[in-house]
Amino acid sequence: MTTDKNNYDISPEQLRLEIKRNARRNELRQELHKIAFNPYRAGTGEGGAPLDPGIQRFMSARAKTYEYFRPTLKGGLKYYTAIWTPIIFFSWLVKTNRDEKEHRYRTGQVSYADREFKFA
């Protein structure tokens, strides 16, 4: 185990990988700055931000989602399970709880002084 200047215990392999990642990050940063701040780029008709292929693929996939979407039974079941089942369950739970409290209040099992919410 080796210790770097910040007193973190990391292995030599982790330290080597971290140095490699930082070098790659700095290389990409320099490349982006070179493209983005090139004064001769403005006259070529390539205005705007530099193109990142990963972001472009992501945005293209998001734009084409509905063209390739096919509803299936499995997808519908996932939707109803994730959205409607909790709503229906908790609605039923609240309703039964309130009905049970109301029944106790109306039959006199809970005195007015002991109720949680009262008018006076």
Give residue-wise pLDDT tens across range 86-110. 999 999 999 999 999 999 989 999 8
In terms of domains, do 76 and 60 share one? no
Q: Are residues 2 and 39 in the same domain?
A: yes
114 and 55, same domain (yes or no): no
| Sequence-distant (≥ 6) Cβ neighbours of residue 36 within 8 angstroms | 49, 50
What is the predicted pLDDT for the residue at 42? 60
- Residue 117 is given by DSSP the state S
Residue 44 and residue 83 share a domain? no
**Weakest-pLDDT range from 15-19, 38-42, 111-115:** 38-42
Q: How many domains is the chain built from?
A: 2
Task: Quote the pTM value.
Answer: 0.45
pLDDT at 17 over 60: yes
The reply to whether 120 and 94 lie within a common domain is: yes
Structural domain including 103 reads 71-120
- Cβ contacts of residue 85 below 8 Å, gap of 6+? none
Give yes or no: residues 46 and 79 share one domain.
no
Please check whether residues 94 and 61 belong to one and the same domain.
no
For the chain, give the percent of residues with pLDDT over 90. Answer: 52
Domain check: are 10 and 65 in the same one? yes
Which of 12-21, 23-32, 46-55, 61-70 is the least confident region?
A: 46-55
Same-domain pairing of 63 and 75: no
Same domain, 97 and 59: no
Q: List pLDDT tens digits, range 26-38.
A: 999 998 888 778 7
Give dist(CA 75, CA 65) in Å, integer.
15
Q: What are phi and psi of 3, to 5 degrees?
A: -120, 130
